[in-house]
Structure 1
């Protein structure tokens, strides 16, 4: 490592180290030093039984997880009970109840988090040496970069969740062909969250530390009534289903944020100088749907089905809150017509379908006035408008899917083949897009064009060996799909962006695929980087001379294939799953941070003179090999935020991978041994998952994402707790 160019500041690389392992200052893999081995313990017990009229199932379980990040943990306790009672020959009821208590201590993710600080850390500094003799933070950058290990010891996220799910169903068989079923369920949970950030951490410095207490509540009621009629007319079997469903949900949210902590290490909202309270009140969403399904088959050879649904939802404008959608399917079983003995073709089926589904927006997307946390002021109350709005003509998004496929089985089901081609079109997509703040809002919900997806799905299975002492089954799955934005009423839709200075965004424009990444890149001629008169790469420019923002990658893969193998060798069950993902690009924010602070090997030549590989102008409209020397300075030249560390050429990586996804070995006790010890079954299982990966991606497992599901942001990774390898041992005992 080179010497610090800013001792005690942001560009502090730490002391130089020797390549000798015996040297006092040596290279340290601070990621391995920081993360610890997580341990998960699970214990469960269940009891089931019944008679001709009564059946029951009761279970209880507990799990405890010590995370890979120091001072993180998660606990979960559950209790479940199901039961059924045959009141009469025609009438029966069923009930279920589940209670879950969960929660723990989690690490912070994103910018100004534990993971962000870790990405800046120097490999020549012991990351676990984080306290001074006085018990204060030991930080070689003098507070510019938070000490990651200290961060986890003083600031985390805590949550506590209590959840109850209960249901009941009533089934009445009126006649041999007419059935009535009513089901009702309730889902209720309450959650409390707490975050404590002291004043000496970067994220809390501006407000002298803060405490955030949150309270979240949810109640969901689901009611359905279904009438089913089955009748046979000659060679035709028919079924007609009519139903109604009501889904009603209520959400509550409130928080209190306290800023200006005056007693160190005292995590209580009373320990804050300034308090800001926010109460969202109650969000209530209702969806009422009426539906039907009609099915018929001829001699169990030709099958035809039609469905329809009419929904009314509360989250759409009144004039557009009712919509309908339909589906139909047709299949033909031809196996018996070709091979009645089933010696070669044991099953053959052709199928096709067309189906629609509806998608509606979340609650309260239209602009409204809410209580302002800065009021009352001088005894005067006040409100403020929310920063998000929506199109007053917003309507439901309709997704239409057409598919065709076949299911084939050969040699008495020893070889199995399933294939599906699908074509899916999402019309009037409901999208939240970022808008300029000069519009007085930050985001706007609208129906944003159409997205077309076409793809192929293939499953091939084979029983290579099948006898009582040894069997081997393989299943290959292949998935490939492509997406394309076919209509867009505006120039682009930005779903997310890098909060740093790279200009990398997740967005789509007309003709793009979902998951497209945009950013700035270097000019190239015949694949070679164009070098300017200053010896540095030249960025692509617009007609006005500004740096151009162009397409730099696509987050979704070209295709994914998995191969699952299971073996049964006498009393042993052995299985392993391989997975290959071809293509898909990703941006690793942690890598950018490491380059920015000069802690990655790629910056080891940062104080050396070099001639960059590329071509320069020959002054006559052509290009010649570059021969202009530069100094690869971190702070003022090549590796800074305006040249190397902002270019897609350096930051966007191929996120392909080949994984040994999981391996498991189970030993089942013999019947003789079970009889001797007086149990019905006893097995021991050892398994592991995600413990082998081969990838060109330089960083954490690229399967991890910086954004949660539902954000439409893909291809960003690096600043969240990485995915883990896991190994487990379990015992399954039955009486």
Structure 2
């Protein structure tokens, strides 16, 4: 039931609230900048004075922590319990203080930023004679290849000594040195040195292992060597390849599901409006289609195919842990309010084992977005700015004025001949609609005429400017940014502006308590025009592609021309698209704030509790005015001016409480547990008012007109969840993971509000097995498999409830008296539940040739069951259909990702390639299995069918097999209507049922919008200070229904595309064999039907981005007080190779609709963008 709850929000009140909010935020940011700059400076310039006399060691450590801000990490069993220390230091360094404290203690230490790791030095009992008092001065240093030295004096035990250095060659204290397969070991001292006594009997097979957290284990077979040197290398698998997963992070090596990562540095130089554009061509299994070219417009993202008919198909977006709302306003891309430059990385959870932790929202995949955070160290100020221009990437070839006149003359002659006339007959013998206009009688004099595309397209500016500052110390880190983005549209008078800011803070109150906050306000403005509306309803491109090139833009008096009627073009009223762009005023603004705060408590070693509270607040407004001197819907000006004002607000809050535990037992057992409870609720309100009868166009506000309609609406939903996950690793080789989430949603029936979504996965690090050690081709090899369930809850908030609507009813005889009342408009369903996605995935991750080549392979089989469909119900219920969980879809396919380092010398070249194959098929539809036939807007006949055994939303129409080549061909072939009507040159359709006539029973599937495969390739080159990146992506086996070609051959003066040059003209001039003859009216020409003539191959390969970067020399940068400086030249949408004849082979009139996909009807084209960027780091 529609509920009228929304109060009026005066513009003044809103402006006051916004102004206050921005003022408070500005003051907070200034205060934070001043405060945090002091924090950073204080943390890294300190000198230490410390005094302790005869105090217990643990007390001394706590005092040092409080006094210096450093944090000690140690095992309490390693500390001498009775030892007391005395120390006195004035204006010394932390290293001097630690040396004084541990001078006489069996402890070593290593400093990592603000953490100090303590290790116990294990001393082995060794006979005096076994240890020489002094090594010979000529003793050589033993490297990893082990050079021999003179044997030590004979004894029952053997002494092995050596030194360990880190990746920089510095002494490495605290490293564990153990004899392999034994408990004998020690640790390096403050100078990175060690000394170990082992039985002489082990000398021949002695192997020492050096280990430290975050570094790769190093092994050396000692043989007869008495001194060994270890050089430790950072374990990038353990440290750098940390991947964000649902409610936490995991090492890449520990992941058993299908998770893809996209560091934003890969796309940082691209001029992106929203973060979803960044994924295009980068990730296997993720098909990103830029279906709208309008500034601020969104894209369509499909993770492993289309998985639903009646619910949503877009993935869930989670920004810094907050699942953002994507259904606030269907005409606005919710992700365009997020500044892409603030993003650190994007992870995509593709299979059920990874996405099941998000339960009822994970069936279409999950996109995890992590924004930038500060790092301890010196503050870094960064300025990123670019400026550029855009041009339409592709224009449609149109007839010039001469060609248009010749084509129209031929069309009218053909139509007159069809009526029994002769092409040479004068106008006086013809009806007015078939007369040849005087201007067409001398086509050569007309020249090229008006190029209406050039009139509405423009070279448009694009710019972005961002200033950020980040830094901190061991206690507090911060990242703050402010940005301004402006994109003018390539269609005149359209555009998008965005102001955005971000503050990310993290603070360690103590060793056990951390708090933080993220705040990201933005204000976006869109200048909107009816670009994609159709020709007779004021669409700019529809009008531009339909107006004859013989019509000028302006009349002699400077006013805009308008095509007012049939003569001489046989067209209805078409408004001037330049006038539409200049006269309509339509502006949408969106103020959005996304933020959260958190607190994290470390309870005991490995056990943490984290609670967070987040808000996503959106406030959208739109005001449009259509003046009286602009025609509308086929009615020429003057008309009644119209105005529309609408507003919408949504508040979405989320509370999460997560308990996690991580522990390693006996060096072989790694356990990672997680459990949590979340609660989320969203409430939205909107209002719209229409007005007309404005006395003048000078005052466009609604109060100047007469209000003719309006309404207010309110809606809300809520979600409660319990979740758990366990990850277990044994010996670094055998992996197991399981998740469980239970969701309760207000959107579903009383008997089905709760759903359970489990998953499990396993992995095997095959390359860690001993039998793999002897080969040198496969560096790493991990096998994994998973199975799980996820759900889809993106349906209406009240679909399970029987709704009431209002209607007028006439009481009494005759006209009676009208009264308003309520009536049941939909039937309730207490059993309405989730769509369930069951997915099996098996994959392998390879690293070959010492990591020169990496390869990931996945096979998946995804079944979506309990599809939400409107199915027929008995007439006795009073309803025709009801929404029920009946239906099944299948997506299955392969994914391949290959990364290679082709050249590694002074000239470097690396390649990343991915390709994905997906097969989409409808398995079940309702109890009867009847197909769903759908109609796309702007078409009168049906255009799509969803039937068992075929891809969802296949194109539905007649199969055009060419044109009739002669009268004999017409006489001997099936014809529309059977007996008469068709002529040579008209479209010829396939007789599917073989009954000798073309009837509705011959309509069949004529194509689909599901690709056979899609792919992406990136090549990176670098030499010296130059780097070049080229990103390309493509789709193969996809088709589009080109609706703007619907009137080909049915001229009526409005078809001006150059493809008619391939038309049939006579048996001796058959043209291309597919394009029908010119005609004015149907006359049996069959062109008004949906047919395969309109279905075009939309396969393409696009060079999406070319990026050339030059890093300025350090001498230049430092001379102007810069750390780094770079200049970047970038081209976006550089080239597209496709047989498709429209603006954009990714176009989709109906957005993300699964029932009517792949329709192009004068959609907003893509822009080719050139930018020059400057990146400065202070």
Correspondences of 1:518-533 after superposition (within 5 Å): 518-522=956-960, 530=973, 532=975
Q: Does structure 1 residue 203 correspond to structure 2 residue 642?
A: no
**Structure 1 unaligned regions, length at least 5:** 615-624
Give the match's secondary structure for 1:202: coil
- Judge which range, 152-161 or 564-573, deviates more: 152-161
- Judge which range, 592-601 or 213-222, deviates more: 592-601
State the TM-score, normalizing by the size of structure 2. Answer: 0.56
1:620 maps to none
Counterpart-to-counterpart distance in 2, 1:154 and 1:12? 34
Deviations 1:435-475 (A, max 9, x none): 999999898533240001101000111101113x3210011
Structure ranking higher in strand proportion: 1
State the TM-score, normalizing by the size of structure 1. Answer: 0.88
Deviations 1:90-124 (A, max 9, x none): 00101111110111211212332222222312233
2:545 maps to 119
2:613 maps to 184
Correspondences of 1:384-423 after superposition (within 5 Å): 384=822, 391-423=829-861
Q: Does structure 1 residue 447 correspond to structure 2 residue 885?
A: yes
Taking a change above 3 Å as real, the CA distance of residues 145 and 380 of structure 1, as seen in their structure-2 partners, is closer
Count of aligned pairs:
711
Correspondences of 1:7-156 after superposition (within 5 Å): 15-16=439-440, 24-26=446-448, 28-108=450-530, 109-111=532-534, 112=537, 113-126=539-552, 129-130=553-554, 133=557, 135-139=559-563, 141=565, 144-156=573-585
Counterpart-to-counterpart distance in 2, 1:169 and 1:204? 57
2:1143 maps to 700
Give the match's secondary structure for 1:650: coil
**How far has the Cα of 1:189 moved from its partner?**
1.1
Taking a change above 3 Å as real, the CA distance of residues 159 and 140 of structure 1, as seen in their structure-2 partners, is same
Q: Does structure 1 residue 349 correspond to structure 2 residue 782?
A: yes
Conservation of the 8 A alpha-carbon contact between 2:752 and 2:830: no
Counterpart-to-counterpart distance in 2, 1:406 and 1:441? 52
Q: Does structure 1 residue 363 correspond to structure 2 residue 801?
A: no
Correspondences of 1:461-500 after superposition (within 5 Å): 461-467=899-905, 469-489=906-926, 490-494=929-933, 496-500=935-939
Structure ranking higher in helix proportion: 2
Deviations 1:704-729 (A, max 9, x none): 21122355531111332112211111
Conservation of the 8 A alpha-carbon contact between 1:478 and 1:561: yes
Conservation of the 8 A alpha-carbon contact between 1:13 and 1:122: no
Taking a change above 3 Å as real, the CA distance of residues 608 and 43 of structure 1, as seen in their structure-2 partners, is same
Counterpart-to-counterpart distance in 1, 2:439 and 2:446? 10
Counterpart-to-counterpart distance in 1, 2:876 and 2:1148? 31
Counterpart-to-counterpart distance in 2, 1:330 and 1:197? 61
**How far has the Cα of 1:42 moved from its partner?**
0.7
**How far has the Cα of 1:7 moved from its partner?**
12
Give the match's secondary structure for 2:1093: helix
Counterpart-to-counterpart distance in 2, 1:11 and 1:292? 78
Instruction: Flag the structure with larger Rg.
Output: 2
Q: Does structure 1 residue 168 correspond to structure 2 residue 597?
A: yes
Aligned to 1:584, which of 1019, 1038, 1047?
A: 1038
1:516 maps to 954
- Judge which range, 104-113 or 348-357, deviates more: 104-113
Aligned to 1:246, which of 672, 676, 679?
A: 679
**Structure 2 unaligned regions, length at least 5:** 1-403, 413-429, 567-571
1:297 maps to 729
Counterpart-to-counterpart distance in 2, 1:429 and 1:662? 39
Counterpart-to-counterpart distance in 1, 2:1064 and 2:962? 26
**How far has the Cα of 1:208 moved from its partner?**
3.7
Conservation of the 8 A alpha-carbon contact between 2:589 and 2:621: yes
Counterpart-to-counterpart distance in 2, 1:351 and 1:580? 28
Taking a change above 3 Å as real, the CA distance of residues 475 and 404 of structure 1, as seen in their structure-2 partners, is same
- Judge which range, 709-718 or 476-485, deviates more: 709-718
Q: Does structure 1 residue 633 correspond to structure 2 residue 1079?
A: yes
RMSD: 3.7
Conservation of the 8 A alpha-carbon contact between 2:953 and 2:1154: no
1:504 maps to 943
2:1058 maps to 601
Give the match's secondary structure for 2:506: strand
1:547 maps to 1000
